[in-house]
Structure 1
């Protein structure tokens, strides 16, 4: 696979070199400046050669009627920024399963912790709403797996064979019920000296930290897909 990719890049590069020789001086200077700008922005060699191939073919044809690269693509900075904003081929479609599970787990675990903490804080009844450490951890883990399972079974209008709305609702219901069983069961089965209860403030802090972690993880890992 890597050899094939390398061969494609090499072919594009050779073709681009020949096309480059056909450019006017003004367009040649534009492409040289654009190449420098893309290198500074850490654009991959594969993407750069692919983009240049399309641009060079277009420029060689359009410059015959007097059009310049600046007229077609704007300033070098504008063109570079626009190209960088476009996702790499590998960044299209849903993310890996573990990323979707991570995003969903942080959402579900944080939501349960936050709701439980706020409920306990406003009820002012000792022990009325608490989650133990083990239960909280299971919420994050099982919640992530449930969200991954649900997201993988979302209806797809372009591919009806993937499953319909009824299947999606059924799986969503089973998934959330399973999460509730795990949460309730852990509080009943796991001893309190292991499943140490968190007070209302502790639950709220865990919930807030989970949402903050979700925000940064989604941006840093470019998580796509999932439910949230």
Structure 2
């Protein structure tokens, strides 16, 4: 063992029987009904022991303050529901999947709006944004939008300082503007302008792609939910 290494501290086992003996008549009755409910739910004995080891010290401590178990935990059925039937917290979607989903959303929007605008515009005034520019700006918009959304979805105690998030968003926005300016300089053979109807059809197909990916990976918390 290293010189400065502290030995692992093993928690002392809870004296369940000793704590049960300290319960008031009202709390003892609550515990009797609680155990009966656990057995009715076919909770394994080992799990029952873990639950009682967590509850009994608190029951005794609150009892000394004049609070019976019904006041601390509510009715037995309520406590059982909280322990055994509480809905599991949904797993948070990864940052990368949220960015992908948001990027697809913006790509669909850009293609649809650009295609519709070009289709209904008069000759000579059609929008001439190349597909490479559209893809790059959509990807950057998806990345930029994900960060503030992710920030608002975090528990308040886990959020980084607001000024840090603001700096990140400002930096990404400047990168977005710079990247868009660079895409304009891309040669036309690398940044072709697609016909309006082609853009609209691709946007429609990407809607189906986005629905599949969203369901396949159970993506939540993105731009449109």
- TM-score between both structures, scaled by the size of structure 2: 0.51
Give, in angstroms, the shift of residue 71 of structure 1.
0.8
- Identify which of 53, 78, 90 aligns with 1:74: 78
- Equivalences for residues 133-172 of structure 1 within 5 A: 134-147=132-145, 159=161, 162=164, 165=166, 167=167, 170-172=170-172
- Structure 1 or 2, whichever has the larger Rg, is 2
- Identify which of 32, 37, 49 aligns with 1:30: 37
Q: Is the 8 A contact 1:30 1:76 kept in 2?
A: yes
Structure 2 equivalent of residue 118 of structure 1 = 116
Unaligned runs of 5+ in 1: 1-6, 37-44
Give, in angstroms, the shift of residue 136 of structure 1.
4.9
Structure 2 equivalent of residue 41 of structure 1 = none
Q: Is the 8 A contact 2:112 2:200 kept in 1?
A: no
Q: Is the 8 A contact 2:107 2:138 kept in 1?
A: yes
Structure 2 equivalent of residue 84 of structure 1 = 87
Q: Structure 1 residue 176 and structure 2 residue 183: aligned?
A: no
Q: Is the 8 A contact 1:150 1:168 kept in 2?
A: no
1:135-184 CA distances to partner (integer Å, 9 max, x unpaired)?
55444544444445777999x99626636x5x456425313313423553
What is the rounded CA distance, in whole Å, between the counterparts of 2:74 and 2:151 in structure 1? 47
Residues 139 and 30 from structure 1, CA distance in 2 versus in 1: closer, same or farther, beyond 3 angstroms? farther
Residues 223 and 185 from structure 1, CA distance in 2 versus in 1: closer, same or farther, beyond 3 angstroms? farther
Unaligned runs of 5+ in 2: 1-7, 21-27
Q: Is the 8 A contact 2:144 2:173 kept in 1?
A: no
1:19-71 CA distances to partner (integer Å, 9 max, x unpaired)?
8x9473321133355675xxxxxxxx9xxx6x876545445666897645661
Q: Is the 8 A contact 1:101 1:148 kept in 2?
A: yes
What is the rounded CA distance, in whole Å, between the counterparts of 1:130 and 1:56 in structure 2? 72
Give, in angstroms, the shift of residue 98 of structure 1.
1.7
Structure 2 equivalent of residue 107 of structure 1 = 105
What is the rounded CA distance, in whole Å, between the counterparts of 1:85 and 1:189 in structure 2? 52
Structure 1 equivalent of residue 204 of structure 2 = 205
- TM-score between both structures, scaled by the size of structure 1: 0.51
Give, in angstroms, the shift of residue 115 of structure 1.
1.8
Aligned residues: 195
SS of the residue corresponding to residue 118 of structure 1 reads helix
C-alpha root-mean-square deviation of aligned residues, in Å?
Answer: 5.4
Structure 1 equivalent of residue 3 of structure 2 = none
Q: Is the 8 A contact 1:110 1:208 kept in 2?
A: yes
